[in-house]
Structure 1
Protein backbone atom coordinates (compact mmCIF):
# COMPACT_ATOMS: atom_id res chain seq x y z
CA UNK A 1 0.00 0.00 0.00
CA UNK A 2 1.43 3.33 -1.05
CA UNK A 3 0.85 6.75 0.53
CA UNK A 4 0.76 10.40 -0.56
CA UNK A 5 4.52 10.75 -0.20
CA UNK A 6 5.05 7.88 -2.64
CA UNK A 7 2.55 9.45 -5.04
CA UNK A 8 4.34 12.79 -4.89
CA UNK A 9 7.75 11.21 -5.51
CA UNK A 10 6.45 9.13 -8.44
CA UNK A 11 4.03 11.63 -9.96
CA UNK A 12 6.19 12.46 -12.98
CA UNK A 13 6.50 8.79 -14.01
CA UNK A 14 2.80 8.05 -13.41
CA UNK A 15 1.27 11.19 -14.96
CA UNK A 16 0.40 9.75 -18.37
CA UNK A 17 -2.63 10.69 -20.45
CA UNK A 18 -5.07 7.80 -20.59
CA UNK A 19 -4.34 6.56 -17.09
CA UNK A 20 -7.55 6.12 -15.09
CA UNK A 21 -7.92 7.06 -11.43
CA UNK A 22 -10.46 5.67 -9.00
CA UNK A 23 -11.01 7.84 -5.92
CA UNK A 24 -12.64 5.63 -3.29
CA UNK A 25 -14.19 6.61 0.03
CA UNK A 26 -15.86 4.45 2.69
CA UNK A 27 -19.50 5.50 3.08
CA UNK A 28 -20.36 6.78 6.58
CA UNK A 29 -16.96 5.76 7.95
CA UNK A 30 -17.42 7.74 11.16
CA UNK A 31 -20.47 5.66 12.01
CA UNK A 32 -18.39 2.46 11.76
CA UNK A 33 -15.97 3.84 14.33
CA UNK A 34 -18.79 5.16 16.51
CA UNK A 35 -20.91 1.97 16.45
CA UNK A 36 -18.25 -0.74 16.40
CA UNK A 37 -15.07 0.94 17.66
CA UNK A 38 -11.83 2.07 16.04
CA UNK A 39 -10.50 -1.48 15.73
CA UNK A 40 -13.49 -2.29 13.51
CA UNK A 41 -12.86 0.85 11.48
CA UNK A 42 -9.25 -0.20 11.06
CA UNK A 43 -10.40 -3.67 9.99
CA UNK A 44 -12.70 -2.10 7.37
CA UNK A 45 -9.78 -0.09 5.97
CA UNK A 46 -7.54 -3.16 5.86
CA UNK A 47 -10.30 -5.14 4.12
CA UNK A 48 -10.79 -2.41 1.54
CA UNK A 49 -7.04 -2.10 0.96
CA UNK A 50 -6.81 -5.86 0.42
CA UNK A 51 -9.79 -5.84 -1.96
CA UNK A 52 -8.31 -3.00 -3.99
CA UNK A 53 -4.88 -4.61 -4.13
CA UNK A 54 -6.38 -7.94 -5.19
CA UNK A 55 -8.54 -6.25 -7.82
CA UNK A 56 -5.50 -4.52 -9.37
CA UNK A 57 -3.44 -7.72 -9.36
CA UNK A 58 -6.19 -10.01 -10.69
CA UNK A 59 -7.30 -7.84 -13.59
CA UNK A 60 -6.13 -9.40 -16.83
CA UNK A 61 -7.03 -6.22 -18.75
CA UNK A 62 -4.98 -3.94 -16.49
CA UNK A 63 -1.28 -3.30 -16.33
CA UNK A 64 -0.15 -3.43 -12.73
CA UNK A 65 -2.10 -0.75 -10.90
CA UNK A 66 -1.13 1.14 -7.78
CA UNK A 67 -3.21 1.53 -4.63
CA UNK A 68 -2.54 4.68 -2.61
CA UNK A 69 -4.01 5.52 0.76
CA UNK A 70 -4.71 9.21 0.51
CA UNK A 71 -5.58 9.53 4.18
CA UNK A 72 -8.35 8.53 6.55
CA UNK A 73 -10.81 6.37 4.63
CA UNK A 74 -9.84 7.61 1.15
CA UNK A 75 -7.93 5.57 -1.40
CA UNK A 76 -6.76 6.21 -4.94
CA UNK A 77 -6.23 3.46 -7.50
CA UNK A 78 -4.00 4.38 -10.43
CA UNK A 79 -4.71 2.30 -13.54
CA UNK A 80 -2.13 2.84 -16.32
CA UNK A 81 -3.31 2.24 -19.87
CA UNK A 82 -6.78 1.19 -18.70
CA UNK A 83 -10.08 1.83 -20.42
CA UNK A 84 -13.19 3.25 -18.80
CA UNK A 85 -14.72 -0.24 -18.85
CA UNK A 86 -11.68 -1.72 -17.11
CA UNK A 87 -11.74 1.04 -14.48
CA UNK A 88 -15.45 0.47 -13.87
CA UNK A 89 -14.94 -3.29 -13.54
CA UNK A 90 -12.11 -2.85 -11.05
CA UNK A 91 -14.26 -0.52 -8.93
CA UNK A 92 -17.23 -2.90 -9.08
CA UNK A 93 -15.04 -5.90 -8.20
CA UNK A 94 -13.69 -4.07 -5.14
CA UNK A 95 -17.25 -3.13 -4.09
CA UNK A 96 -18.33 -6.75 -4.44
CA UNK A 97 -15.34 -8.01 -2.44
CA UNK A 98 -16.11 -5.85 0.58
CA UNK A 99 -19.84 -6.57 0.47
CA UNK A 100 -19.33 -10.19 1.52
CA UNK A 101 -20.80 -10.99 4.93
CA UNK A 102 -18.65 -10.04 7.86
CA UNK A 103 -18.99 -8.74 11.39
CA UNK A 104 -20.61 -5.57 9.99
CA UNK A 105 -21.57 -4.23 6.59
CA UNK A 106 -20.13 -1.19 4.88
CA UNK A 107 -20.07 0.24 1.39
CA UNK A 108 -17.85 2.49 -0.69
CA UNK A 109 -18.44 5.18 -3.25
CA UNK A 110 -16.06 5.64 -6.16
CA UNK A 111 -15.35 8.46 -8.58
CA UNK A 112 -13.49 7.73 -11.82
CA UNK A 113 -11.49 10.17 -13.94
CA UNK A 114 -8.88 9.88 -16.65
CA UNK A 115 -5.62 11.80 -16.83
CA UNK A 116 -5.96 14.14 -19.77
CA UNK A 117 -3.13 15.35 -22.04
CA UNK A 118 -3.25 18.89 -20.61
CA UNK A 119 -3.00 17.77 -16.96
CA UNK A 120 0.19 19.08 -15.37
CA UNK A 121 -0.21 17.24 -12.06
CA UNK A 122 -2.25 14.50 -10.42
CA UNK A 123 -4.19 17.24 -8.66
CA UNK A 124 -6.09 18.03 -11.87
CA UNK A 125 -7.28 14.44 -12.37
CA UNK A 126 -7.82 13.79 -8.66
CA UNK A 127 -10.06 16.86 -8.50
CA UNK A 128 -12.17 15.46 -11.35
CA UNK A 129 -12.30 12.02 -9.68
CA UNK A 130 -13.28 13.72 -6.41
CA UNK A 131 -16.19 15.49 -8.12
CA UNK A 132 -17.34 12.13 -9.47
CA UNK A 133 -16.96 10.61 -6.00
CA UNK A 134 -19.29 13.23 -4.57
CA UNK A 135 -21.71 12.65 -7.45
CA UNK A 136 -21.78 8.96 -6.45
CA UNK A 137 -22.48 9.92 -2.84
CA UNK A 138 -25.24 12.35 -3.83
CA UNK A 139 -26.81 9.66 -6.02
CA UNK A 140 -27.22 7.39 -3.00
CA UNK A 141 -23.73 6.08 -2.16
CA UNK A 142 -22.49 2.52 -2.75
CA UNK A 143 -21.90 3.21 -6.44
CA UNK A 144 -19.36 4.18 -9.09
CA UNK A 145 -19.59 7.45 -11.03
CA UNK A 146 -17.55 8.40 -14.08
Structure 2
Protein backbone atom coordinates (compact mmCIF):
# COMPACT_ATOMS: atom_id res chain seq x y z
CA UNK A 1 0.00 0.00 0.00
CA UNK A 2 1.52 3.33 -1.04
CA UNK A 3 -1.41 5.78 -0.87
CA UNK A 4 -1.90 5.83 2.90
CA UNK A 5 -0.75 8.06 5.72
CA UNK A 6 2.12 6.67 7.78
CA UNK A 7 1.42 4.23 10.56
CA UNK A 8 1.51 5.64 14.09
CA UNK A 9 4.98 5.76 15.64
CA UNK A 10 5.60 4.66 19.24
CA UNK A 11 7.83 6.85 21.44
CA UNK A 12 10.30 5.68 24.08
CA UNK A 13 13.10 7.34 26.08
CA UNK A 14 16.24 6.08 27.81
CA UNK A 15 16.17 8.48 30.78
CA UNK A 16 16.61 5.76 33.43
CA UNK A 17 18.87 7.91 35.62
CA UNK A 18 16.56 10.96 35.57
CA UNK A 19 19.24 13.44 34.49
CA UNK A 20 18.71 16.03 31.78
CA UNK A 21 20.41 14.01 29.03
CA UNK A 22 18.52 11.30 27.12
CA UNK A 23 17.36 10.06 23.72
CA UNK A 24 13.75 9.98 22.54
CA UNK A 25 13.18 7.29 19.89
CA UNK A 26 10.20 7.09 17.53
CA UNK A 27 9.64 3.60 16.14
CA UNK A 28 7.24 2.58 13.41
CA UNK A 29 7.09 -1.22 13.57
CA UNK A 30 4.61 -1.95 10.76
CA UNK A 31 2.43 -0.21 8.19
CA UNK A 32 3.04 2.47 5.62
CA UNK A 33 6.36 4.28 6.04
CA UNK A 34 6.95 8.01 6.40
CA UNK A 35 9.25 10.25 4.37
CA UNK A 36 9.88 12.79 7.15
CA UNK A 37 9.57 13.24 10.90
CA UNK A 38 9.04 16.20 13.21
CA UNK A 39 9.64 16.03 16.99
CA UNK A 40 7.76 18.36 19.31
CA UNK A 41 8.73 19.07 22.93
CA UNK A 42 5.94 20.61 25.00
CA UNK A 43 4.19 21.49 21.73
CA UNK A 44 7.18 23.26 20.14
CA UNK A 45 9.14 21.82 17.23
CA UNK A 46 12.66 20.88 18.31
CA UNK A 47 13.81 18.70 15.39
CA UNK A 48 12.81 17.51 11.94
CA UNK A 49 14.36 15.34 9.29
CA UNK A 50 13.97 13.05 6.31
CA UNK A 51 13.26 9.32 6.48
CA UNK A 52 13.78 6.69 3.82
CA UNK A 53 10.47 5.01 3.02
CA UNK A 54 10.76 1.25 2.49
CA UNK A 55 7.30 -0.12 3.34
CA UNK A 56 6.75 -2.63 4.96
CA UNK A 57 10.07 -2.30 6.83
CA UNK A 58 10.30 -0.67 10.26
CA UNK A 59 11.48 2.93 10.65
CA UNK A 60 13.18 4.82 13.47
CA UNK A 61 13.82 8.51 14.14
CA UNK A 62 15.79 9.72 17.16
CA UNK A 63 16.04 12.96 19.13
CA UNK A 64 19.09 13.64 21.33
CA UNK A 65 18.17 15.77 24.36
CA UNK A 66 20.58 17.40 26.83
CA UNK A 67 20.74 20.19 29.36
CA UNK A 68 17.16 19.85 30.61
CA UNK A 69 16.46 21.20 34.10
CA UNK A 70 14.26 19.45 36.66
CA UNK A 71 10.69 18.99 35.45
CA UNK A 72 8.62 17.00 33.00
CA UNK A 73 8.79 17.35 29.22
CA UNK A 74 6.13 15.96 26.90
CA UNK A 75 7.17 14.69 23.47
CA UNK A 76 5.21 13.82 20.34
CA UNK A 77 6.40 13.00 16.85
CA UNK A 78 4.73 13.55 13.50
CA UNK A 79 5.46 11.05 10.74
CA UNK A 80 4.62 12.43 7.27
CA UNK A 81 4.36 11.20 3.72
CA UNK A 82 2.59 12.40 0.56
CA UNK A 83 -0.74 10.97 1.78
CA UNK A 84 -0.81 12.66 5.19
CA UNK A 85 0.48 13.09 8.73
CA UNK A 86 0.19 10.78 11.73
CA UNK A 87 0.90 11.98 15.30
CA UNK A 88 2.20 9.67 18.05
CA UNK A 89 0.73 9.38 21.50
CA UNK A 90 2.50 11.75 23.92
CA UNK A 91 5.44 10.56 26.01
CA UNK A 92 6.27 12.30 29.32
CA UNK A 93 9.92 12.29 30.42
CA UNK A 94 10.70 13.35 34.00
CA UNK A 95 14.02 14.99 34.83
CA UNK A 96 14.67 14.57 38.55
CA UNK A 97 18.18 16.06 38.77
CA UNK A 98 20.83 17.81 36.72
CA UNK A 99 24.01 16.04 35.79
CA UNK A 100 26.70 18.13 37.45
CA UNK A 101 30.09 18.68 35.89
CA UNK A 102 28.92 18.24 32.31
CA UNK A 103 27.85 21.80 31.52
CA UNK A 104 24.29 20.79 32.32
CA UNK A 105 23.39 23.60 34.73
CA UNK A 106 21.39 26.17 32.78
CA UNK A 107 22.37 29.82 33.12
CA UNK A 108 25.29 29.08 35.44
CA UNK A 109 27.20 32.30 36.15
CA UNK A 110 30.64 32.65 34.62
CA UNK A 111 33.54 32.51 37.06
CA UNK A 112 34.66 35.91 38.28
CA UNK A 113 38.07 37.16 37.29
CA UNK A 114 40.34 38.20 40.13
CA UNK A 115 41.13 41.91 40.08
CA UNK A 116 44.65 42.80 39.05
CA UNK A 117 46.94 43.78 41.92
CA UNK A 118 49.36 46.56 41.06
CA UNK A 119 52.98 45.57 41.69
CA UNK A 120 56.28 47.45 42.01
CA UNK A 121 59.71 46.23 40.96
CA UNK A 122 61.92 44.58 43.55
CA UNK A 123 65.69 44.66 43.51
CA UNK A 124 65.67 40.87 44.00
CA UNK A 125 63.54 40.36 40.88
CA UNK A 126 60.33 39.56 42.75
CA UNK A 127 57.03 41.35 42.35
CA UNK A 128 55.62 43.00 45.47
CA UNK A 129 52.26 44.67 45.98
CA UNK A 130 52.45 48.40 45.46
CA UNK A 131 52.30 50.46 48.61
TM-score scaled by length of structure 2: 0.33
**Which of structures 1 and 2 has the bigger CA Rg?**
2
TM-score scaled by length of structure 1: 0.30
Greater RCO (CA < 8 Å, at least 6 residues apart): 1
Q: Where is the helix percentage greater, Structure 1 or Structure 2?
A: 1
